[in-house]
Amino acid sequence: MTDLFSKFDGLIEQRRALLDTGVTDPFNLVMERVLSPTQAICNGRETILLGTYNYMGMTFDPDVIDAGKKALDEFGSGTTGSRVLNGTYAGHKLCEDALKEFYGMDHAMVFSTGYQANLGIISTIAGKGDYIVLDIDSHASIWDGCKMGDAEVVPFKHNDIVAMEKRLKRIPEGAGKLVVLEGVYSMLGDIAPLKEMIKVAKDNGAMVLVDEAHSMGFIGPNGRGVAEEQGCLEDVDFVIGTFSKSVGTVGGFCVSNHPKFEIMRLVCRPYVFTASLPPSVVHTAATSIRKLMHAGNKRAHLWENSRTLHKGLKDKGFQLGTDEPQSAIISVIMPDLERGAMMWEALLREGLYVNLARPPATPANMTLLRCSLCAEHSAEQVQTIIGMFERAGKAVGII
Ligand code: PMP
């Protein structure tokens, strides 16, 4: 018998070697209690959260929590069914109505996660004989959506408009084309030049899907994302998003103006063949999305936090993923996995949680300490965070 686990031996060995150095397992942390969007108890210690994607701090919003509690009482704990059978409740419709209004689009479809939204929409709309042209740094859910469908998959160099155009021009005449982009790329926190890229896509007869998971609620005058910020949202055929970041719960969605979009509800397997989100989740999401429409002050404060942290870390000598802050993600580049893990642990001992990101999730084999800011971080907390980075960075010998 061949042990089917032997393919993981390299990774098992690498993990053992890392833990043998005595560092805490960075992928096994338990949040023992969560006090607020920016604070939790980890290892018995009060810890500032700087790696949650909880950009707008909606997880503890009193209206959001009330909506969830009320839905639990009125609709029970779960739907026990698919959206196309017994699993469409009033709350799912409330969510879809809120999304249509939020994006100013005709159609909205709620999935159980953002991962499933990408998986479902990409694998369903791009079929046999079609081509998907996508950024090489795309999220795993986008790659998995490509893998699940039957289309030809053509990647191009990250954010490279010329490379994208070359790939598009090589596609045989008459084939269907889907260009897949992200507003914010979550590893380095950089944004895409969507306006130029979408123009090239359209000039070459492609439909465009943009994953705005990391920009919803924050980027753009109404928080609709990078496409809104750059004035090209009308040219996007499909926006994919998630409830697991700014919305502050769990779930995924696609919004679109395509006149035939509703047929997706019958043909998209990751929508049909899985249970729908629980009532408490969709009611919290709908309430949160509506509040995000009027969150201009929070957006302004989050930008302030992003600029302060970026400048503070850069001034202390850290190497960052972008020259200027482009989103609410500030990535700190580590020299290697071992020192990355040491730094991660030193920060945790200081009372700060960030994400340790490593290949294959990261581009160019980088080890990153990824910080995601929240609109609820106070200016004082951001200064505290910079101090923690400075002490930990000196202790580990990174600065
Ligand atoms: N797209 C992107 C760009 C993401 O970063 C993520 C999650 N990190 C997803 C989709 C999946 O979202 P969800 O957590 O809702 O499955």
Taking the model in full, what pTM does it have?
0.97
Q: pLDDT grade, residue 334 (50/70/90)?
A: very high
Is the same domain home to 279 and 216?
yes
User: pLDDT of 348-397, one tens digit each?
Assistant: 999 999 999 998 889 989 999 999 999 999 999 999 999 999 999 999 99
Q: What is the pLDDT of residue 120?
A: 98
Q: What is the pLDDT of residue 27?
A: 84
User: Percentage of the chain surpassing pLDDT 70?
Assistant: 100
- Residue burial 374-396, b: 16+ Cβ < 10 Å; e: rest: bbbbeeebbebbbebbbebbeeb
Q: In this structure, are residues 353 and 49 in contact, taking their beta carbons and an 8 Å threshold?
A: yes
Q: Ligand 1: which atom is nearest the Cα of residue 182? A: 3
Q: Please indicate, yes or no, if residue 6 is contained in any of the structural domains.
A: no
User: pLDDT of 114-127, one tens digit each?
Assistant: 999 999 999 999 99
For residue 252 and ligand 1, the question of a CB distance below 6 A is answered with yes
Q: pLDDT grade, residue 318 (50/70/90)?
A: very high
Q: Within 10 A of 260 (CB to CB), how many other CB atoms are there?
A: 8
Q: Which domain holds residue 93?
A: 62-292
Best residue among 53, 59, 134, 141 to mutate for probing ligand 1, ranked by most atoms within 8 Å of CB? 141
CATH number of the domain bearing residue 145:
3.40.640.10
Q: What is the pLDDT of residue 26?
A: 82
Residue 380 token pair: 């004082």
131-134 contacts: CB < 8 A, separation 24 or more? 131/171, 131/175, 131/176, 131/177, 131/178, 132/178, 132/179, 132/180, 133/164, 133/167, 133/168, 133/171, 133/177, 133/178, 133/179, 133/180, 133/201, 133/206, 134/179, 134/180, 134/181
User: pLDDT of 16-73, one tens digit each?
Assistant: 998 888 888 888 899 999 999 999 999 999 999 999 999 999 999 999 999 999 999 9
For residue 372 and ligand 1, the question of a CB distance below 6 A is answered with no
Q: Please indicate, yes or no, if residue 4 is contained in any of the structural domains.
A: no
* Cα angle for residues 158, 357, 393 (degrees, 5° grid): 115
What mean pLDDT is reported for the chain? Answer: 97
Is the same domain home to 181 and 282?
yes
Number of domains in the chain: 2
For residue 115 and ligand 1, the question of a CB distance below 6 A is answered with yes
Which pairing describes strands 355-357 and 152-156: parallel, antiparallel, or unpaired?
Answer: unpaired
> CA of 93: how far to CAs of 230, 269, 280, 283, 316, in Å?
30, 20, 13, 10, 49
Q: Residue 300, CB half-sphere, CA atoms under 13 Å: how many?
A: 4
Q: Ligand 1: which atom is nearest the Cα of residue 53? A: 8
Q: What is the pLDDT of residue 45?
A: 94
Q: Please indicate, yes or no, if residue 5 is contained in any of the structural domains.
A: no
The reply to whether ipTM tops 0.90 is: yes
Is the same domain home to 209 and 322?
no
Q: SS3 breakdown of the chain: % helix, strand, coil, rounded to 5? A: 45, 20, 35
